[in-house]
A and B are shown apart, each in its own frame.
Chain A
Amino acid sequence: MSVANRPVHRPLSPHLQVYRPQLTSVLSILHRATGIALSVGALYLATWVIYAAASPKAYALFQGFNTSIVGRIVLGGWLFCAFYHLCNGIRHLFWDAGYGFELKDAYRSGWIVVAVSLIATAVSWVVGLRLV
């Protein structure tokens, strides 16, 4: 076998299992997880307007799920994912601009992201459930 045809066995990333969990890594993983969840959520959002454009009967079916316990948890969870991904995304944009790389700053911004997204989710739940 010639050198050019030999299969390359380069190390494949990432090796999550060799790291001890810490705030920075957990938030990083959560950013991806919420990103994936929000992508599915975007499809759900598209489905929502498609049902709204359809008949009132079809929309009632869709709305029936939204107002069920499971539906409320899904929508409330979507809100948390959105707030978290939004806040942590802004944190990432600051990193892209070259700010906040010191370990102390990374931890501080991390805790701010956690606090803001939890508070925003809680406020949304309280306001939303009051309007129902």
Chain B
Amino acid sequence: MSDLRTPLARARGLGSARDGLHHWWAQRLTAIALIPLVVWFAISLVMLSGADHAVVRAWIGSPLVMVLLILTIGVGLHHGQLGLRVVIEDYVHGDGRKLALIVAVRFVAVVFGLAAVVAILRIGFGG
């Protein structure tokens, strides 16, 4: 069977996204991590229905919740960013626009993630 790839491309093994297996693997790892995290967070969110500011702050500030919430937001944003990248690669044509959007999505994810972590730590350590 003939291979449409050049010998160099085959040797590099990076595929059409020029990224190899790394993206696929990261998406699966974050997916597995998010299974317990999302179940925990969804139950917590329902239980917090009608809670006021003080209750929410006390909840966020407890050590276990701080760890799980930082993980949920961090891993969730990373997983979302990986997924959006695939959507952009599929539907946005033209290398320039594609790259610009992928970079923009990553920047937004990092900024919101970092801001959320700072906010959680501020609540936990009484800032």
- Nearest to A43 among chain B residues (CB) is B112
Interface of A is mostly: helix
CB distance from A49 to the nearest CB of B (A): 5
A129 to B119, CA, bound (A): 28
Report if A59 contacts B (CB, 8 A).
yes
CB contacts under 8 Å to A, within B21-59, are 28, 31-32, 34-35, 38-39, 42, 45-47, 49-50, 52-53, 56-57
> Contact: A52 with B119, CB < 8 Å?
yes
- From A43, A60, A79, A127, name the one whose CB has the most chain B CB atoms within 10 angstroms: A43
Which residues of A are found within 8 Å of B84, using beta-carbon distances? Answer: 35-36, 39
Interface of B is mostly: helix
> Contact: A52 with B39, CB < 8 Å?
no
> Contact: A46 with B77, CB < 8 Å?
yes
> Contact: B53 with A39, CB < 8 Å?
no
- Nearest to A39 among chain B residues (CB) is B80
CB distance from A70 to the nearest CB of B (A): 16
Q: Given the known inter-chain contacts A42-B73, A45-B116, A93-B28, please indicate yes or no for A53 contacting B122, CB distance below 8 A.
A: yes
Report if B8 contacts A (CB, 8 A).
no
Report if A118 contacts B (CB, 8 A).
no
| Interchain CB contact (< 8 A) of A83 among B42, B56, B81 | B42
- Nearest to A67 among chain B residues (CB) is B50
> Contact: B90 with A14, CB < 8 Å?
yes
CB contacts under 8 Å to B, within A90-111, are 90, 92-93, 96
Which residues of A are found within 8 Å of B69, using beta-carbon distances? Answer: 49
> Contact: B73 with A49, CB < 8 Å?
yes
- Nearest to B16 among chain A residues (CB) is A10
CB distance from A53 to the nearest CB of B (A): 4
- Nearest to A47 among chain B residues (CB) is B112
Which residues of B are found within 8 Å of A52, using beta-carbon distances? Answer: 53, 56-57, 60, 119, 123
Q: List 13 A-B contacts (CB under 8 A).
A: A35-B80, A39-B77, A42-B77, A43-B108, A49-B69, A49-B73, A49-B119, A49-B123, A75-B45, A86-B34, A90-B35, A93-B31, A131-B47
**Interface residues, chain B, with chain A CB atoms under 8 Å away:** 28, 31-32, 34-35, 38-39, 42, 45-47, 49-50, 52-53, 56-57, 60, 69, 72-73, 76-77, 80-81, 83-84, 87, 90, 93, 108, 112-113, 115-116, 118-120, 122-123, 127
Additional A-B contact list (5), CB under 8 Å, known A39-B84, A50-B119? A35-B83, A42-B80, A53-B120, A56-B53, A128-B45
